A and B are shown apart, each in its own frame.
Chain A
Amino acid sequence: DAKTTQPPSMDCAEGRAANLPCNHSTISGNEYVYWYRQIHSQGPQYIIHGLKNNETNEMASLIITEDRKSSTLILPHATLRDTAVYYCIVRVTGYSTLTFGKGTMLLVSP
């Protein structure tokens, strides 16, 4: 699986948009970009995934650059409950295994 690079931490004010970047410059054509988050002491939670088009669901939006070498997860109106570690994962299709990096610790403050 392609390696991902994320900033170790980010801050965001409550109510503002949180934009979490991820670099995956060695991504190959059959690899999807997945985002999970882990709130303290809980299991990771699936957020969103995409291949090359931008995706949106009730939790977040995923913007993937045209060359697919990077992506951004957007939480449009961050709340205190969005404080968590966010993991960007690039996964080979056909396998279920997730390879987690260190992720980004997002702290949402009042």
Chain B
Amino acid sequence: KAGVTQTPRYLIKTRGQQVTLSCSPISGHRSVSWYQQTPGQGLQFLFEYFSETQRNKGNFPGRFSGRQFSNSRSEMNVSTLELGDSALYLCASSLVAGGLLNEQFFGPGTRLTVL
């Protein structure tokens, strides 16, 4: 079965702009999590959605937001982009949220560059 897909794969924006990234989970998976990866901070959790509701949120400013649709697809939005937002944004899907044996499957990521 198809894996997690993320679009676009690469994106270049300028400071002050906003961006929307999309994630389609594995078919049947209902939980989607987002992570940011930078060379300095490593992989950091952004937020998790399950059944269109945000379950957990990491320590990121309000400029970072997300949502999940009824078909489990998810989008994340970053407004007023800063240079430090340049990163690889990873989406992960899992069958359920918070399950006991709930491994996450990651997509290839969206590489965002802010100029």
Give A contacts to B, CB under 8 Å: 32, 34, 41-46, 49, 87, 93-102
Q: Considering the chains assembled together, what is the distance between the CA atoms of A43 and B92 in angstroms? A: 9
Q: Are B105 and A46 in contact (CB under 8 A)?
A: yes
Does the CB pair B42–A101 fall under 8 Å? yes
Complex: A41 Cα to B10 Cα, angstroms? 12
Tell me the bound Cα distance from A94 to B48 in angstroms: 13
A43 touches B90 (CB 8 A): yes
- How near does chain A come to B91, taking the closest CB pair, in angstroms? 8
Asked if residues A98 and B45 are in contact (CB atoms below 8 Å), the reply is: yes
Are A96 and B100 closer than 8 Å at their CB atoms?
A: no
Distance in Å: Cβ of B105 to nearest Cβ of chain A:
7
Residues from chain A with Cβ under 8 Å of B42 in the complex: 100-102
Quick one: closest A residue to B3, CB to CB?
A: A43
**Does any Cβ of A come within 8 Å of B101's Cβ?**
yes
Q: Are A96 and B43 in contact (CB under 8 A)?
A: no
Contact across chains for A94 and B56 when beta carbons are under 8 A apart: no
